[in-house]
Chain A
Amino acid sequence: MYGWTGNILRINLTDRTHKVEHFDEEFARKWVGGRGFALKILWDELKPGIDPLGPENKLIVTVGPIAGIPAPNTGKTVVAAKSPLTGGYADGNLGTRVTEQMRKAGYDLIIIEGKSAQPVYLYIEDDKIQYLPADEIWGKGTYDTHDWLYKKYGKGAGVLSIGQGGENLNLYSMVRSLEGRAGGRPGIGAVMGSKKLKAIVIKGSKPIPVADPEGMRKLGLEDLRKVGEIDKKTGWSIQGTTGVLAWCNEVAALPVHNMRKTHHPDAWKIDGERLNNARVATYGCPNCTMRCGITILDHEGHESELDYENIGMLGSNLDIFELDQVASLNYLCDDYGLDTISAGAVLAFYADAIEQGAIKGDFRFGDAEMAKKLLGMAARREGEVGNLLADGTLRMARKIGHGSEAYAMQVKGLEISAYNCKFIPGMALAFGTSPIGAHHKESWVITFELKQTARDSYGPEKAAKVIELQRIRGGLFEFIVACRFPWIELGWELEHYVEYFNKTTGLNWTLNDFWKVADRIYALMKFFWVREFPFWDRTRDYPPMIWFDPKNADTDGPIAGKYLELDKYNQLLDHYYQQRGWDKRGIPTRKTAEALDLSQEADQVEKFTKLE
């Protein structure tokens, strides 16, 4: 078998034991890697209803067949677990040296079980596994933690760590790597923290099994050069992802004031042009020639690496239009190991609830200094307010009451990323049907929707586009495990990835083979949710109710007076379910499951709910 090592490293932190297990080619072909591997392991090994922060939950670190080989944007690793934030399936990918080091150490999958009695970090070097005391780094932020580990193991080591957020079980804490990289939005950091696992360090020295090593190396290096050239020619990385901020402001899709507004006259102060002008450094993931990590100095003088989501959620959504202050909030999130998207949504929701009179408090929109204090309290779960803020918007709303759940900007418990869909039905559907809760990484349809369809339509073409992009972004790129940016932003064709896959594995797949795997994974992710929430219905695929409220419509600008219509959104959901072969509740039918080789999984889920 080429492309995969076939090795699973299973580590139990409770009794500090480990063993190496093996998977066969059938498993590899069926699930490919990354999200596919993680999902299948969690489905098979987790009992439904377990406490995500208990020792029964499992932390998965995994890569894909092309991960770590020298080719465009293959430096990504997937982390996954049952989410403590949403209660459903959760994963995230992040650029890290772990990718290459893990493959060289000889593993495609690491499963971490149990719970350590004391804070530890794992050191994995090929076949050597050490459980080392983390006393000196427990309680520290991720920057200090990484520095401490780099001094000990060298900068080339692969390092994943958590900050105070993960240690204190903040439900939107993440796993950190490198300068500004993080992954696992739905609380994977808290899962690590619950196991008292501060960090994972990996070094490897073995060759990565590639069917055509010379051909792949030559092709990969040449393509890295070509992608870099296209980036230079188009100028994409001048502003990177942040170029879209000014555009969102133009078309009324910017999150402002807890997404109650869609544009703001001061948005230019925090846009990509200002960011590029303030740039002091640029960082990127391994194997990347279109580096997007634009770094500026924050209000306190730290280097802070920003992208669009950070600025949208910690800037405009909080009515903060001072770029250095936005950078400070971003730096703190990175250091505490908090998800910037959820953190921005949580603070905005808190300010909104205070403004609406639903809760008493001192925080106001636009108050950057108070926002910094609140982030620290949320990361450390300090006091009543810190504990409230650490639980994410849905739990906050349920505690606060007074109808605040309508403006808790989340789906399935995960906060919505920085695209305000007050009047963008297709993108609202993309958030609604994202299989880990609201996340832009699965499907992003706004430009298609505005350029090629009527904005106010709820037709089948929008559902079809959401599914097409889910297959590519949430499917292909999440299971071969590579960054989607060369494809989405530079037009680097998908066929290149098929070629990398085939040269690495020795197989002869086409894109259609990948789409079947993608559909299988999406169906099983839905089954995972249904197994956890057996009374599943379509309302769990709804965006927040405020988007359907005529009183929330903009009073000026491009979408004045417009809002989403619930009956039409339901039609759009019907189109989506029908095209996917799911029933009216949004659950894959028995026939669909069988066509995707999920008969056994369908039998399992039928213990919880009847399939159509």
Chain B
Amino acid sequence: MSGSNIKITVKLIGPFINQLGFSEKTMEFPAGATVETVLSSLPLDPRRPRIVTRNGQAVASGEKLGDGDRLAISPLYSGG
């Protein structure tokens, strides 16, 4: 971890993998980064319905992240 940055593992689900070109990677963000900080760093279509979870729990975009958190970003599936 460099300086006061935090490391976040970003996991993409479904077609987001093809749209962004990766499935899972660890990224660095400044301490105090929120869910929105991570989302806005990714070229995702903001109009696309999605669900974001932190360590398996759904999170709001303003929520602060901690070092080592895992953020999964998924389209809003509807269960086949």
Binding site for B on A (CB under 8 A): 234-236, 238-239, 241, 243-244, 246-247, 250-252, 263, 272-273, 307-309, 419, 440-441, 444, 446-447, 450-451, 455, 485, 488-489, 491, 557-559
Contact = CB atoms under 8 A, between A and B. Distances in A.
A450 B58 contact: yes
Contacts of B49: 491
B23 interface: yes
A37 to B, nearest CB: 24
A235 B57 contact: no
B80 A309 contact: yes
8 contacts: A239-B15, A243-B74, A247-B13, A247-B51, A250-B70, A307-B80, A450-B57, A451-B51
B78 A252 contact: no
Given A234-B48, A244-B79, A558-B53, 16 more contacts: A235-B15, A241-B80, A243-B14, A243-B77, A244-B14, A244-B77, A250-B11, A251-B57, A251-B58, A263-B56, A419-B79, A441-B80, A446-B79, A450-B57, A451-B51, A488-B79
Interface size grouping (class) on chain B: 20 to 34
Given A234-B48, A243-B13, A247-B13, A488 B18 contact: no
B13 A246 contact: yes
Interface in B4-38: 11, 13-15, 17-19, 23
Interface string B46-71: 00110101011110000000000010
A512 B42 CA distance: 41
A444 B76 contact: no
B75 A252 contact: no
Contacts of B56: 250-252, 263, 557-559
Contacts of B14: 235-236, 238-239, 243-244, 246-247, 272
Contacts of A235: 14-15, 18-19
Contact of A250 (B13, B79, B80): B13
A125 to B, nearest CB: 34
A243 B75 contact: yes
A250 B78 contact: no
A444 B72 CA distance: 20
B63 to A, nearest CB: 13
Nearest to B74: A247
Residue among A241, A447, A488, A558 with the highest chain B CB neighbour number at 10 A = A447
- Main SS of chain A's interface residues? helix
Nearest to B51: A451
Contacts of B13: 243, 246-247, 250
Nearest to A446: B79
A78 B39 CA distance: 43
A251 B53 contact: yes
Residue among A238, A246, A450 with the highest chain B CB neighbour number at 10 A = A246
B53 A236 contact: no
A570 B70 CA distance: 34
A558 B48 contact: no
A557 B72 CA distance: 14
Contact of A489 (B19, B53, B72, B77): B77
A309 B80 CA distance: 9
Contacts of A450: 51, 53, 57-58
Contacts of B19: 235
Contacts of B74: 243, 246-247, 250
B77 A455 contact: no
A239 to B, nearest CB: 5
Contacts of A236: 14-15, 75
Contacts of B77: 243-244, 247, 447, 489
A160 to B, nearest CB: 22
A489 to B, nearest CB: 6
Nearest to A239: B14
Given A238-B15, A273-B17, A447 B76 contact: yes
A227 B77 CA distance: 17
Contacts of A446: 79
B16 to A, nearest CB: 8
A240 to B, nearest CB: 8
Contacts of A447: 51, 76-79
Contacts of B80: 241, 244, 307-309, 440-441, 444, 485, 488
Contacts of A243: 13-15, 74-75, 77
A246 B57 contact: no
Contacts of B78: 444, 447, 488-489
Ranked 6 nearest A-B pairs via Cβ: A558-B56, A444-B79, A235-B15, A243-B14, A488-B78, A241-B80
B12 to A, nearest CB: 9
Contacts of A557: 56
A272 to B, nearest CB: 6
B53 A250 contact: yes
A246 B13 CA distance: 7
A198 B57 CA distance: 48
Nearest to A241: B80
A444 B80 CA distance: 8
B79 A247 contact: no
Nearest to B78: A488
A273 B74 CA distance: 13
Contacts of B17: 273
A244 B14 CA distance: 7
A259 B52 CA distance: 24
